[in-house]
A = this chain, B = another copy of it.
Amino acid sequence: MVQKIYVTYNQVHKLCQASADRILNDFQPNLMIAIGGGGYVPARILRSFLKRPGSPNIPIQAIGLSLYKTLSNSDPVEAPGTKVTRTQWLDLSSLEMSNLIGKHILIVDEVDDTRTTLEYAVRELEKDVEAAAKKMGREGERAKFSIFVLHNKDKPKKGHLPQDMIDEGRYLAAHTVSDVWICYPWEATDIDEHDALAESQVKN
């Protein structure tokens, strides 16, 4: 049986808080991109901690990505496969993609499990910025992406992140855990019981 870890809202809040200095100093984001639904809560909390007095809030754009299992038998080695679908992408009527060229963009999600979703997000966003740069005659200019997740599961990953992102330390997991089942509070049907289970884990 897979071990379950119960995480309370206040723990999530403190994980964001504990990472804020590192994010502000090292990543210096101009924009956050929250991967919904899991990235919504950490992104909103982070925004509070990333706000510098006298500066405006760092804007958040939400994107929606869903993993679904592919039942195709075409590749029997990797079955069942997983595919990412977009349910929402950046809104290019409010946000000019060209505004992202040269900017620091922080991608936020709750958990890095297989890394499939994160690979997709980084690759597709990089592609969009590259296309915008080309269109503007600014070839070679890129955006600098960094990643923040609440939890990284220490396990073999199906998805891969750009080597320069790893090399330059632009990946931050507030907590690294083994391949456990993480129960986030926003999924709890009984939040008091959830908190009690989280509390009993601390004691054991």
A186 interface hit (Cβ, 8 Å): yes
A188: which B residues are within 8 A, CB to CB?
13, 48
Asked whether A88 and B64 contact (CB < 8 A) given A41-B41, A191-B14, the answer is no
Interface flags, A80-94, vs B, CB<8A=1, else 0:
000000111111011
Is B10 touching A195 in the complex (CB atoms < 8 A)? yes
Number of interface residues of A (CB under 8 A): 40
A189 interface hit (Cβ, 8 Å): yes
A36 interface hit (Cβ, 8 Å): yes
Could you list which residues of chain A lie within 8 angstroms of chain B, going by C-beta atoms?
9-10, 13-14, 17, 34, 36-38, 40-41, 43-45, 47-49, 57, 59-62, 64, 86-91, 93-95, 185-189, 191-192, 195
Number of copies: 2
Asked whether A40 and B44 contact (CB < 8 A) given A10-B9, A10-B195, A13-B188, the answer is yes
Asked whether A86 and B90 contact (CB < 8 A) given A36-B60, A185-B13, A191-B13, the answer is no
Bound Cα distance from A14 to B189, whole angstroms: 9
Is B40 touching A59 in the complex (CB atoms < 8 A)? no
Bound Cα distance from A45 to B7, whole angstroms: 14
Q: Which of B9, B34, B57, B86 touches A40 (beta carbons < 8 Å)?
A: B34
A17: which B residues are within 8 A, CB to CB?
189, 191
Q: A48-B187, A89-B91 are in contact. List 15 more A-B contacts (CB 8 A).
A: A9-B9, A9-B13, A9-B185, A10-B192, A13-B185, A17-B191, A34-B40, A36-B60, A37-B43, A37-B47, A37-B57, A38-B44, A61-B87, A62-B62, A64-B94
